[in-house]
Structure 1
């Protein structure tokens, strides 16, 4: 009987429950899409990197103490003599030197192909043991020849015989395209561009004459890769290691997966937010359905149905909504995963292709999350339905019992206090996982605000409605009264919008604070007039030959041109990035202010800022156990402590130490200071002329640097806001659902209003005013909570450079206006439906 009743109720309320299911679809689609995208890209990169293991078995490379970041630049070149040693190892069928490094092709527009997207790779053309296959022409054999990968050739339109320019660590040089090759069996590059040179040219451009980036070897029949790696390790010199090709592929794929894993977690967070917002809609919908069916439920009780059976009937409806919504969400998630891949392609990151991977765990998680959230949200309305007394079936004016708001006030206060404590603990980093603590704290705060909002829903909506009443008279007064009539319903409807708006406001406050802090930092700590840098895209930071600094220093009007780069070093048990350069020369461009010690950093010496010194308990002269990227351990001395400087960062490593442990001598930035009397525009023109041969380098003045920082923050804000708009869309569905159910609930009332003379247009306006008040109420709540969250996060990050609190009043005001528009749009369909009611039938409704 219960199953039959559940199915009939689902069929009887298809439209109302369909809108609720749509909220489930949108939330679970994000969860499913993220999981499908992650599984698909993981498989694609596994296949891409595994292709290299088909041609080689062992790779010899410089020993690496760290992974990722600038570690590739710190790896030792492998001398040609090691290749001879490897070839003599028993079990090696074939071995050759491998040369890789940065090299970019200059497009027909004068810009490097790929821009700041995936890495631009230069390689030495291999004669064997590679997964590169010529598709046209031949391999490069002369210093002025180059071969391109097929994807790059297709993008640029270059073919064999064309003249192109390529840039590595020096100025761009002309080459003739003599061949086009395919990477791997499928010809997929993952967005990476490849330029192949003949071996000696590749050594000059990418490594060192007479040295290789690595050595690859193929095992003889009967020798396993692991066994061969062990034999090779026994003969290679200290500072080098032999690993299996599979391990090298796993390491390379691991770096990519780590980046994509962060992206998946980032996207999954928005899926969880959407599900959370949708739970308020589900709760509200079932609460209203239970309220409207009080008499029906009482009849069930009167004819013998138990409380348990009534609860199961309502929960059965929730199960049906959750299950259908989750299945649809899974299908929509597959489309979202395809869309994400398209988005990557649009920004130049062409991910390797493979069929969509919908793992069983993805199906289970999607269905579990969707169904569980729906059942939990519907549980309390179901329990309320079960408490309907049978005698209520005999009454015409029956209404479900309403609890006092006092219990909500106490529970909401306790939740708010607990949420605030978790937020404070997470933001200050005093214990546990900060991200988990902040997330749990935010969840509790949102629940607390949702529970407490009925206490002030009536006075706030009355206050918001007062101007509308003065301007639009009776219809506005009726709309305002409807919003105030049931503060629980109003607050529950507004809660969904409140969450989305609170998160958007938090991000807006944080973005404005970051921008203001960056401006302050640049004004206070950047003494350079210009900066020259190379973009690194998604790979290691870009770098170029230090001779560029000498060329820039020779430009008329330039006082100094100071090169610098970055390197990884482990201090104690912490792996950190340190700026590298001559501290005495960087003092001016960085505006360094020494608090103690000296700017002269010798071998195994480092300078740190005051905040880092205090946190580590260090002073000038302190000794710290350190490890460099080449694996060497040393006791490093604190040569000096300087005032906190956002441009210099917390660590400054001297050139002598860097040269001893980091073979690559290239730099990533040159800071240029003009002479006091020099004309800035004339100096800039001179610098641009000097850099004309380096299309991979970017020249910026102070205003450009500020604008770039603002643009980066703005892009992040736009991306996060766009993702959070999904929660706003779900909130709009909630308002539409509530108004539609409210119209049904007030059918007789609407009929009476029409009977006494209210026109269709006036009725539509009344519902529109009610919708606008609910929307603005939710937006106000969200903005207030968001400002509080933004302030808390900014204070927690004050020690990391975000030390200026900025509240973007104009942007938040625009969001409030947008919320009013949301209310207008959400009321369109319910208002039209109400206006089309037959007056006589509406009056006769019980």
Structure 2
């Protein structure tokens, strides 16, 4: 039986090629995902380890150490602590570090680096006048307020050289700096595509802290002193709300953080790989079902000459194992190539990653082989079991035994039960507070139910296309009959495409609803003409707000300032606004009171917070500000909050004196001439045409939201494309094997007058009908799942409503048709080329 199985594999290698390709693609996606994430994670980990090679112990402010008297951020580290650290017996040296955000535009005015990774720091010379963290490649270290040094990667990308004048933005206003040095660094952010600008220590302290303060202190140990021993010495001098960690722990923590960050990406990519494999299972099972059906006579003769049921099943499973092994091994090699290609693709888009070797872990090899072989064997088990039940007498009968009525009834009953329970669970989940898990289970059950029912659904849905198909004459009628002749095969082929389009449509419906909801929320809540903020979403200098307020074009403005506080013992952020004009810049619905009373100790709060704390107009509560001072505040209004505006709002005049550092989150403006291109240009010009600052009207905000959601959707589309590609292979596979199966029939059609063009048209129309059947099912299910998920989102997003993307759904249906046409090219050509007489004689 083993030799027989191997001969069958070799004999049917053309028919099995598509199955090998289906498994190969799924395995390649899994292997590529594991190789890519392992390579990137390893490169970042080694880069982070390099970044801590010169650090034995680091002292940092401890924001997790809560101070009940002052709920703000932990204070910066003073010069006195640095001086004490230098005198520790185990310390060879101590370096004071100051870090923050620094935006560097290139010569075209576009930001270099990746926003949050665009950082600034201080050059801290040791006794020899050099900072060992940043070896100078060219030029010298910065020594005054007008000088800056750039990392070599940023200098190369922006084409800056020593002596160039550049604009640097830390919190808004542009700093005119001269590049005096270019340095190399092992900083992980720079390796990941960010930028690093270095100032002299006094300038960095002025920009990011206060004179004589540091954001961190790094120590190196003397020879013979371990990191733990030095840490023990450091802990004796630590002031309140500071912490010390060894360099090894910092490197390990950063490596773990990178690993956790990459695990999310890996999980997401593996989920899509799983979808591709899930689709592949249908194709593999379909292929083996057809192969077994075509070999009914052969298998029955084997039973007649003495082969047992177990031997027949084993024969089919051996074939599957051979195919799976070949496909898994080839898929692993392809996956390694995909992993390397994804890394190169990232680098080509500017999202550079640290240098490092391609990492192929034993897990990637084992998982790829396991997935490829096991999936193929499991998919072949049911057809093999069915083949084993063929009675020997079938060798004397037709090779195309129809499915029994009892089998169809059982199948349809099971499918109806799964679909019914799935629909019930999904509908029930829409009314639950947290219905994600029931909805997920219901969605899976419904998908399985629809898949089981597709043979039943295929007949009426394909019959509905009869008027269109009849337009193509006899080839159209034959195509319809061929599509419904074997409903199981048609269903399995259409289901592969259905799953991919279900996910794509569902995600599109959800994304469209969320985008519309956020856009509507922003437009309904904000009446300001423009919102000004940092492109990196970091703090904005109060000088920006003052400059805008004094412009002739500006009618009203309000900076938004955020400050941590403790209200009745609970941590709560306070939002500072211009109480006199905030009512003209926002449009919030008040359930009690209004903005009219905002000022001094009077505040307005959102409805949810008021309900949670039991507040109403006239209620008062004790607040501890971030500077530790306490005050009694009174509620003068309760408004309906949302994701954009919520919390406790008070007048900036009352909040600002309690801030440790005065910074704005954003500035809202109303201009005399409203929204126009000229007004926006004038505002940007007044701010120095600074690319680090965004001046946005509501259309810009809406476009930014749309761009972000489109970017996410395109990434999801790209990943789901693998499932669709596998589905295309399924259609090709089904048609190719169907052509082989119907060789005699095609020969007879040619003999009675159907020309080659008619044969091609028949196969193409059959493919088109099957693809559109899968497309209609997928889009319909996707809309249902999108609606259901929207019902879960709606309670937390009040402006959410179902938005059907008719244009995109039309494109999806057209793509399904294109899939059908393209998938039929080779099978149709093959069918048309069949020799008439040879085909008639074929069994």
If the length of structure 2 is used for normalisation, what is the TM-score? Answer: 0.91
SS in 2 for 1:183: coil
Offset, 1:601: 8.5
Q: Which residue of 2 aligns with 1:399?
A: 401
Q: Secondary structure at the match of 2:331?
A: helix
Matches within 5 A, 1:586-665: 586-596=582-592, 609-611=606-608, 616=612, 618-620=614-616, 641-649=638-646, 663-665=660-662
Deviation per CA, 1:722-768, whole angstroms, max 9, x where unpaired? 22122111111001110111111111111111111110110010011
TM-aligned CA deviation for residue 567 of structure 1: 6.9
* Cα distance between partner residues in 1 of 2:807 and 2:827: 32
Q: 1:61 Cα shift? A: 1.3
Match of 1:789 among 760, 767, 785: 785
C-alpha distance 121-366 of structure 1, shift in aligned 2 (>3 A): same
Q: 1:210 aligns with which of 188, 203, 212?
A: 212
Residues 85 and 625 (structure 1 numbering): CA distance in 2 closer, same or farther, change over 3 Å?
farther
Aligned partners of 2:35 and 2:335 also within 8 Å: yes
1:157-556 alignment to 2 at 5 Å? 157-184=159-186, 189-397=191-399, 399=401, 401-402=403-404, 404-420=407-423, 423=426, 434=436, 438-469=439-470, 471-536=471-536, 541-556=537-552
Deviation digits for residues 297-326 of structure 1 (CA, Å, limit 9, x no counterpart): 111111211111111111122222222222
- Cα pair 2:293 2:400 within 8 Å, conserved: no
CA gap of 1:190–1:604, structure 2 versus 1, over 3 A, is farther
2:696 alignment partner, SS class: strand
- CA distance in structure 1 between the partners assigned to 2:566 and 2:432 by the alignment: 22
Q: Distance in 2 between matches of 1:325 and 1:654?
A: 67
Tell me, in whole angstroms, the C-alpha distance in 2 between the residues paired with 1:597 and 1:563: 23
| 3-state SS, counterpart of residue 533 of structure 1 | strand
Distance 1:488 1:777 in 2: 13
Q: Corresponding residue for 1:811?
A: 808
Find the residue that maps to 1:274 and give its secondary structure. Answer: helix
- Is there any run of 5+ residues in structure 1 with no aligned partner, and where? 68-72
Segment drifting more, 622-631 vs 293-302: 622-631
Shift of 1:445: 2.0
Shift of the 685–170 alpha-carbon distance from structure 1 to 2, 3 Å rule, reads: closer
Please list every run of 5 or more consecutive structure 2 residues that lacks an aligned counterpart in the other structure.
67-71
2:842 matched residue in structure 1: 845
The 1:813/1:188 distance shift into structure 2, 3 A limit, reads closer
Q: Is the 8 A contact 2:626 2:660 kept in 1?
A: no
1:583–1:243 CA distance, 2 compared to 1 (3 A): farther
How far does residue 713 in structure 1 lie from its aligned partner after superposition?
2.1
Shift in CA distance, 276/741, structure 1 to aligned 2, threshold 3 Å: same
Contact 1:151 1:187 in 2 (8 A): no
Instruction: Report the counterpart of residue 60 of structure 1 in structure 2.
Output: 59
Q: How does 1:30-41 map to 2 (within 5 A)?
A: 30-41=29-40
- How far 1:703 moved relative to its partner? 1.7
Q: CA RMSD in A?
A: 3.4
- Structure 1 pair 356/391, CA: closer, same or farther in 2 (3 Å)? same
Choose from 125, 128, 142 the match for 1:127: 125
SS of the residue corresponding to residue 135 of structure 2 reads: strand
CA distance change for structure 1 residues 678 and 634 in 2, over 3 Å: closer, same or farther?
closer
- Verify the 8 A CA contact 1:425 1:431 in the aligned structure 2: no
8 Å contact kept, 2:172–2:534? no
**1:628–1:347: structure 2 CA closer, same or farther, 3 Å change rule?**
farther
1:130 Cα offset (Å): 4.1
Name the residue aligned to 2:69: none
* TM-aligned CA distance change 1:365 to 1:805, over 3 Å: same
Contact persistence 1:52–1:245 (CA under 8 A):
no
Cα 1:629–1:454, aligned 2, differ >3 Å: closer, same or farther? farther
Aligned position for 1:85: 84
Selected match of 1:823 from 820, 825, 839: 820
Partner of 1:70: none
Match of 1:647, SS state, is coil
Does 2:27 correspond to 1:25?
A: no
Shifted more, 422-431 versus 643-652: the winner is 422-431
Shift of 1:127: 1.6
Residue-by-residue CA offset, 1:609-651 (whole Å, 9 max, x unaligned): 334655x575449999999999999999988642033421466
Query: Displacement, 1:118?
Result: 5.3
Alignment partners' CA distance in 2, 1:604 and 1:253:
47
